[in-house]
Amino acid sequence: MKKNIKRIFKFVLGRPYRWLMKDKVWWRKFLSVAAPVYASKRLYKKALGKKLNLKNPQTLNEKCMWLKLNTYYRHPLITECCDKYRVRDYVKRMGCAEILNDLIGVWDNPDKIDFDKLPNQFVLKCNHGCGYNIICTDKNTLNIQKNKKTAKKMAAGRFLEALC
């Protein structure tokens, strides 16, 4: 019994499992772009156990899905507000610049980040994804080489590799 459990853990935590999950994530992304309605219906059914009604949405979830599929792709304000950097310009134009946090810098390449110039506590965020964050609570204990490597993987959009 213990040998089977160990074998299962080796598979789940090992390279084959990561490759399977990477393929699964890639397929989900591809499907979301190629057939967003089909992908949304499939994920909705899997998550909530019932069909997604886009013709006559009744629940809040269905109405949000309808909005996402029918208006968000075409609305320029949504595109601007989804960009973590460009949304700052929109907030300033609306007269709410005082609510923005301090922006230390913007880099196109993780190699250009000068960690010596950063404050003792900071957060590095990628603009193109969710969860692409490096949180530093104490710069003295920060492994700069490891975090640069992670930042390069995140910048390239390889989220699963960045986590593993």
Sole residue written with tokens 């946090």: 101
pLDDT string in tens for the chain (164-residue length): 556 666 665 665 566 656 556 666 767 777 777 788 888 898 899 889 999 999 999 999 999 999 888 887 778 888 888 888 899 999 999 999 999 988 898 888 888 888 889 999 998 888 877 777 889 999 989 888 888 888 888 777 654 444 44
Judge if pTM exceeds 0.75: no
Contact of 136 with 121, CB cutoff 8 Å: yes
133 DSSP β-pair partners: 125
* Residue corresponding to tokens 């979830």: 61
